């Protein structure tokens, strides 16, 4: 039962962080390059574009949900399992989600990078 709770909460962390990252990334592409907009249209435009972007708020909400799931997971299992497991899985799910939902060009180079970093995180935290 403990294993079930631990892994269910780790999966919740991974799902919420991935959804949050994808929504925020999509929202920020619609806002436009912040530095560029800042220089050409001023600070007020940057703030207005960001504040009026519902997707950005939804993304932040999912990030917060992911954070609370992490707290929940930590109350069931050791940080040495929860942190690397959720971080490394998130690298992989983000690559998949970015390819299908954000239509990013996830070529072999990026797959290899995501895989190497995911394995590296597991080793470094282990």
Partner 1 sequence: MSFRKLATLAGVVVFGSAGDVCLKRGMTHFGEITLGNWHVLIQAIFTPWVAIGILLLILFFANYLSALSFADLTYVLPATSIGYIGMALLARFFLHEQISPFRWAGILLIAVGVGFIARGPSLTVEASPAANLPVPEPLARGKA
Residues forming the site for partner 1 (CB under 8 A): 21-22, 24-26, 28-37, 50, 56, 75, 91, 94-95, 98-99, 102-107, 109-110, 112-117, 119-126
Which residue lies nearer to partner 1 by CB, 12 or 21? 21
| CB 20 to partner 1: min, Å | 11
| CB 25 to partner 1: min, Å | 4
| CB 84 to partner 1: min, Å | 9
| CB 4 to partner 1: min, Å | 20
Q: Which residue intervals of 1-126 are DSSP H helices?
A: 2-31, 34-41, 43-51, 54-76, 79-100, 108-125
Which residue lies nearer to partner 1 by CB, 65 or 113? 113
Which residue lies nearer to partner 1 by CB, 8 or 119? 119
Q: What are phi and psi of 105, to 5 degrees?
A: -80, 85
65-69: long-range contacts at Cβ-Cβ below 8 A with a sequence spacing of 24 or more?
Answer: 65/12, 65/16, 65/20, 66/12, 66/13, 66/15, 66/16, 66/17, 66/20, 69/9, 69/12, 69/13, 69/16
């Amino acid at each position: 039962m403990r294993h079930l709770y631990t892994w269910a909460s780790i999966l919740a962390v991974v799902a919420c962080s991935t959804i949050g990252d994808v929504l925020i990334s999509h929202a920020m592409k619609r806002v436009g390059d912040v530095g560029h907009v800042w220089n050409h249209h001023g600070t007020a435009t940057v703030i207005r574009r960001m504040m009026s972007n519902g997707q950005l708020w939804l993304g932040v909400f999912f990030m917060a949900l992911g954070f609370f799931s992490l707290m929940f997971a930590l109350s069931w299992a050791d940080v040495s399992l929860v942190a690397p497991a959720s971080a490394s899985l998130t690298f992989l799910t983000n690559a998949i989600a970015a390819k299908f939902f954000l239509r990013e060009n996830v070529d072999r180079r990026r797959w290899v990078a995501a895989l190497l970093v995911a394995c590296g995180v597991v080793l470094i935290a282990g």
